[in-house]
Chain A
Amino acid sequence: MKLAIDETRCKGCNLCTKVCPYKIFKEGKRPNRKGIVVPELDRPERCTNCRLRNLYGRQLCGVCQLTCPDQAIHWTEEEPYEPHKVAIEY
């Protein structure tokens, strides 16, 4: 699973930076197209739900999603990793 912030919904209240036990959300630096400073993700692969959701088959933690007043935080399904064969031509 992959953690994602929906920039069309986020209003930049930074409540997620307060509640995440891993401190994955960091205050953003620059405003986006709507003038809202959306939080940045700091190494989101540490998130419990990202790592173990599919193993346990249920929602884990999820405090940021419940807390987000604008319903901007969600998880998306990731494509399984496929090794690619790269041919290098000299």
Chain B
Amino acid sequence: MSFDDWYRQDRLPHIYCAGCGNGTIINCTLAAIDQMGWKKEETVFVSGIGCSSRAPGYILTDSLHTTHGRALAFATGVKMANRDLHVVVFTGDGDLAAIGGNHFIHACRRNIDITVVCMNNQIYGMTGGQGSPTTPKGCLSSTTPYGCTETPFDLCELATAAGANYVARWTSYHVKELEKAVKVGLETPGFSFIEALVQCPTAFGRRNKFRQVADHVEYLKVHSLLRAKRDRMLEAGEHIPEDMFVVGELTRRNRPAMGVKP
């Protein structure tokens, strides 16, 4: 059995733009879920609103496509109502960090046994490329035409500070690593948060000199800094470049979790 069996074959091809990284992240997540050996009847996918949140519609399990930003609130309800269900949340950066920020913090605080896969494309892709809380400094978007001047959110730091049990960050280039990270997240009792940086050629790349999809993927590959290397650089007292982001497993701990199957 491969991850292709989890797709609704009659709904494909999906509506994502050519070169959108969301399909890659769904592949990796489904490959990890496939390795877990879960039944389709016992798995629930929850999502909010946005490009990334269209994902559960293409998956052959029960799914909830909920209101903007409230995916985690609905997922909490599903998990509390029936602890036997495996709940996976697909969400985007605008969904999770902007309008659903408070739900995110409190889901981390409660440490509910769900897995959140955040497809961070650093922009509001579906509504026309407005700047989101994770748009990097200096990047152009339709609401920041002279370059974004605000400091972006670091969602992994936020999840760690709020109390999530497992936090990891990968990009759409690192497919095998992402698959392994999602699998560890699914196995971990408690809240697991996996942030996946994806390319958005239509809304983000068009304005930021990544017209070719391969250029943006190359950027993600070159500017990712492994956590072990970051630690080594910090020990040696070297300067970490501003535009690099840390990838890898960032947090793993055993705080008491809520909603774990007895």
Contacts and interface: CB of A to CB of B under 8 A. Distances in A.
Contacts, number: 64
A18 B217 contact: yes
Interface stretch (B20-28, B67-75, B79-87): B20-28
Contact of B214 (A12, A18, A66, A71): A18
A66 B217 CA distance: 15
Interface in B26-70: 27-28, 31
A48 interface: no
B254 interface: no
Q: Tell me the dominant secondary structure on chain A's binding face.
A: loop
B27 A71 contact: yes
Given A67-B175, A70-B23, A15 B16 contact: no
B18 A13 contact: yes
Nearest to A64: B175
B157 interface: no
Interface of B: 2, 4, 7, 12-14, 16-24, 27-28, 31, 172-173, 175-176, 179, 201, 213-214, 217-218
Interface of A: 8-9, 11-15, 17-19, 59, 63, 65-72, 74
